[in-house]
Amino acid sequence: MHEDFLDELGELALGSRLKRVSEKMLADAAKVYEHFGMAIQPKWFTLLALLDKKHTVSVVEASEYLGLSQPALSQFCRQLSAKELINVAADKSDSRKKVIQLSAKGRVQVQVMKPIWSAVNLAAIELSEQSNNQFYQALLLFEASLAEKSLLQRSQHHFKQLANTQLSEEQINIIEFKPTLASYFDVINSQWIEEMFVLEEVDKRVLRYPQKNIIEKGGKIWFAEHPSLGIVGTCALLNKGNGAYELTKMGVLKTARGLKVGEILLQHVIEQAQSLPLNCLFLLTNAKCEAAIHLYEKNGFVHDKEIMDSFGRSYQRCDVAMRWTQEDFATNL
């Protein structure tokens, strides 16, 4: 048998660990009922206890008390009715509502189970207090903290700290393509394309084999590296022949949005493009990509109908064509 890998993951696997423990507890509860000959399913326990205490509740009320979904309670009611442990009747003043209560048999069944509940309660207290560790109290506090500020919010906060610590523009490092980085090209671009469009077959081919489809055809690929997040952005130049280059597959991971990675990358690509036998630098995109288009406009690209007519049919999703104009860009510098 192997060691427990969750131990190595520590707090990161807290969720998985909690799930594992809760499943163990529920499985044990089932064994307890079985051992004492009770034809009762553990999932019914909270509802039976609620009915014992409150006498009558409706389906929705029960779901609110117990923190379970309404359909869950609806199902429990059907099952407990079949076992004749509860009576279900329409509410007199509101015919949508159902009034649930224990039947005479159900009340007796609960009475008969109560000593078992007491024993389980003592067992749970014993477990909780093992080694002076007030597990139950800690769990209550944990739940309260989680309700106050969710794991998502807390994670977002910590992530922001991680991504922004001492970040200045010079710390985004632009590096050239090498085969070991090929998959970053795939992962980074797949992310935004899948989010905004659907990944077409032509995309998949280019993303999977960038070396063959871009580099070996005289194109270029760059990556942007963040000091703590690693490689977070990429951009390619496709060699279309006759000195025409298409700027394409520019993407920044969602984890690095808002850090100006896109702009740094784009400016680097434009700058590097100057050392190519450049005749025409253009790009194709979709009107949906507002932020990107704004970035392109800001960095010397202008909308161009001619480009649209000559190259626009390559991709289904492209309805915007832009061409880089050295003049405009130079005056911006």
Residues within window 85-124 making contact with DNA, judged by CB under 7 A: 88, 91, 94-98
Query: Where in 37-66 is the site for DNA (CB under 7 A)?
Result: 41, 43, 58-61
How far apart are CB 92 and a copy of itself at their closest, in Å? 21
Beta strands 220-226 and 230-241 are antiparallel
**What span, in angstroms and rounded, lies between the C-alpha atoms of 185 and 199?**
14
Residues in 113-152 that interact with a copy of itself by CB under 8 A: 114-128, 130-131, 133-139, 141-143, 145-146, 150-152
Sign of the CA dihedral 226, 232, 238, 243? Answer: negative
Minimum CB distance to a copy of itself smaller for 32 or for 276:
32
Choose the contact partner of 22 out of DNA, a copy of itself, none; CB within 5 to 8 A by kind. Answer: a copy of itself
- Pick 129 or 309: Cβ nearer a copy of itself: 129
Closer by beta carbon to DNA, 19 or else 254: 19
Helix (H, G, I), strand (E, B) or coil at 323: strand
The C-alpha torsion from 265 through 270 and 275 to 278, rounded to 10°, is 140
Q: Which of 13, 25, 32, 68 binds DNA (CB under 7 A)?
A: 68
**CA–CA separation, 212 vs 234, rounded Å?**
17
What residues numbered 206-245 form the site for DNA, per CB under 7 A? Answer: none
Choose among a copy of itself, DNA, none what residue 58 binds, the Cβ cut-off being 5 to 8 Å by kind: DNA
Query: Which of a copy of itself, DNA, none does 201 bind, CB closer than 5 to 8 A by kind?
Result: none
How many CB atoms neighbour CB 105 within 10 A? 13
DSSP helix/strand/coil, 288: coil
Residue 2 lies near DNA (rule: CB under 7 A): no
DSSP characters over 103-141: -HHHHHHHHHHHHHHHHHHHHHHHHHHGGG--HHHHHHH
Other Cβ atoms closer than 10 A to 144? 9
> Segment 202-231, which members bind a copy of itself (CB under 8 A)?
228-231
Q: How far apart are CA 305 and CA 254, in angstroms?
A: 31
Q: Which of residues 40-99 bind a copy of itself (CB under 8 A)?
A: 42, 45-46, 49-50, 53, 61, 64-67
Q: Residue 215 corresponds to which tokens in the numbers above?
A: 């580099």
Q: How far is the CB of 65 from a copy of itself (least distance, A)?
A: 4
Length of the chain: 333
Q: Choose from a copy of itself, DNA, none: what does 288 bind? Cβ within 5-8 Å by kind.
A: none
* Residue closer to DNA, measured from CB, 55 or 217: 55
Residue 267: which of a copy of itself, DNA, none does it interact with, CB under 5 to 8 A by kind? none
Binding mask 168-187 for a copy of itself (x = CB under 8 A): --------------xxx-xx
Are 19 and 39 in contact by the 8 Å Cβ rule? The answer is no
Residue 54 CB neighbour total at 10 angstroms: 13
142 binds, among DNA, a copy of itself, none (CB under 5 to 8 A by kind): a copy of itself
| Dihedral over Cα of 287, 292, 298, 299: its sign | negative
Find which of DNA, a copy of itself, none residue 253 binds, CB within 5 to 8 Å per kind. a copy of itself
Residue 116 CB contacts under 8 Å (≥ 6 apart), including other chains: 32, 33, 36, 38
* Cα separation, 282 vs 292, whole angstroms: 14
Least Å from the CB of residue 128 to a copy of itself:
6
Alpha carbons 251 and 232: distance in angstroms, whole number = 8
Residues that bind DNA (CB under 7 A): 19, 23, 41, 43, 58-61, 68-72, 74-75, 77-78, 88, 91, 94-98
